[in-house]
Chains A and B, each alone.
Chain A
Amino acid sequence: MYGELHWRTFAGIAILLALGVLLPLVLPEYFLYLGNTLMMYAILALGLDLLLGWSGQFAFAHIAFFGIGIYTSALLQIRLGVPFIVGVPIAAMFAGVVGLLIAIPATRLRTVYLALATYAFAECAQWVFRTWDSVTKGSDGLRISPPDIFGYVVGTDRRAFPVMAIILALVLLSLLYLTRSRLGRDLCAIRDSEHVASASGVDVKRTKMVAFVLSAVFAGLAGGTFTLFQSFINPDSVGLAQLILVLTMVVVGGSGSIAGVLVGVLLIGLLPEILRAAPRGLLVWQEFAYGLILVLATMFMPRGLWGVAKTFFARTPKSAPTAAKARQPTS
């Protein structure tokens, strides 16, 4: 959690970007759609982990900020003709502002009350999206036109893929730097012991709020990317199901570690596809599968799959490289 980034990290990011450009040339449209979805979930999950894994705040408002990001960037485009490249950062910032407003009361609450209050907020947000139909068109949904980024029209998943890859790369880099900074250490200190953090000069309340806001910004950003490759928006995309999905990704992959979360996104995100491909259409077992995985993960993998992998590889010398994807772990 300190020091410079290893050259292997930069290599990993470079590989991500290379894949971002090359894969659209060879893969079928459907796989690229999957890829885009996974990358969006990656941003969403990493943001949730900032709150859950790094600073230990058990808050579920995340999906609301995702929705705010989606609707804000969509409405900016539809109503005001704001281009994607401007609209998405605005949406992310706006989500951050709402995050700040929520953080002020939320950081005063203890664990379980925090979970309940933020979950209630998420439900309220979804209700607003559904009911304020003069603005959001409610359950009928909003239709948006393909974003235009300096002449590059993102009309298909194939064209959206490299843009997603670039955005994800930027998110990963900023988080990797954050993890190795004083702020990153302060955040994790709060999770392990608020007393030690406080006694070391960390303003616990303010740092918790910072975590909240950052997490909301990432969720808002993920929402913005939703508009990149989805043309239809409706409130069903921002509800409990998505929240559970992202939570499962974080818990199963390994909360508190960037690589862990990415592993979780990959596995849990591909789960519906695996079920779909299975012989008798096991897709209806999806919910059951997620529930079972969550329960088993909490029982046997407290640090997620990544934690298991780290323990397994801990016998080997420290210089051993990590997963084949060259996505670097935190410390």
Chain B
Amino acid sequence: MSDLLLQAAASGIVTGCVYALVALSLVIVYKSTDVVNFAGGELLMLGGYTGLLALIYFELSYPLMFVAVIVAMYVVGAAFERITLSTITGRRYSKKAEADLVPMVVATIGLGYLLKGAVRVVPYTEEVRRLPPLLAGPPVFIGDVILQQQDLAIIAVTIVVMAGLTVFFGFTRTGKALRATSQNPRAAALIGIPVQSMRMIAWGLAAGLAGIAGILLSPKLLMTPDMGNVVMLAFAAAIIGGFSSLVGCVIGGIALGVLQNLVGVLISPQAMAVTPFFMIMMILVLRPQGLFGELAFKKV
């Protein structure tokens, strides 16, 4: 039994990494623009299919495919922010800043549906596809735990991405500007940071992250236009982590991945599906700031 649990935990860590990436995508958008991106899952799905297109149709090498997907997704995210979101915020018809949030969030819901619908229309997606993995070959044994090579790839890429983002946010000018914008947009504007561009960059970055998650996840899952439903797991991960920091996302993602698998082994496979939703409700009700977040002060 404990072997089973260990195996479940190990695979949980792997899927948790993917959730962490998407969670990070959600948190970056939230912290820079206060918007909850309900299209996160569809961006993941689009990333996967773009990767497939790059590999199969354009016959790019795997690393080049990575780059192509990141760039393509960046464009999609940035374009959405430029075209749709800034139109909504540009139109201040109410004093309440929060009043703009609702149309923006609804717009992300629309985006998700739009992307899903667009992908579904393409006849190529009617059949269930699979993206070739980054690392293929015989499974690897770590103690009694079996991991696929792709699983190791997922963990490795996630570590690289997290490290890269830590450097980006901590040491580059743009990264620091992004952090400043998310903490205090007005102050950032006063210093001379172009807040509009920062939002666009945040969205592009977030979309790119989701795209990477898509490339990592697609070899493990069957690819369909409905793949985006995993976004709820990312939301749960983000909420567990407190919707605020890189560390939170990683811990939240891994915690959720492991928890979900344990539920599957200990309770039932059906219960696995409801775990993220249950977690979301429980945490938001009992401890809304998650593990690492802060309770916001009510602004009067």
Contact = CB atoms under 8 A, between A and B. Distances in A.
A299 B104 CA distance: 9
Interface residues of B, number: 47
Nearest to A122: B277
Given A115-B36, A298-B88, A287 B232 contact: no
Contacts of B114: 287-288, 291-292, 294-295
Interface in B97-133: 98, 101-107, 109-118, 120-121
Interface stretch (B68-76, B144-152, B280-288): B280-288
Interface in A265-280: none
Contacts of B106: 247, 251, 294, 298
Contacts of A111: 98, 101-102
Most buried by B among A286, A293, A294: A294
A104 to B, nearest CB: 9
Given A117-B284, A298-B106, A299-B107, A289 B117 contact: yes
Nearest to B281: A120
A248 B106 CA distance: 9
Chain A contact-residue range equals 35 or more
Contacts, number: 127
Q: Is the interface of A mostly helix, strand, loop or mixed?
A: helix
B91 interface: yes
Given A111-B98, A244-B109, A302-B103, A120 B117 contact: no
A1 interface: no
Contacts of B105: 58, 112, 115
Contacts of A17: none
Interface of B: 30, 34-36, 84, 87-88, 91, 93, 96, 98, 101-107, 109-118, 120-121, 232, 235-236, 239, 270, 273-274, 276-278, 280-281, 284-285, 288, 296, 300
Interface of A: 52, 56, 58, 105, 108-113, 115-117, 119-121, 123-124, 127, 131, 192-193, 195, 244, 247-248, 251, 284-295, 297-300, 302
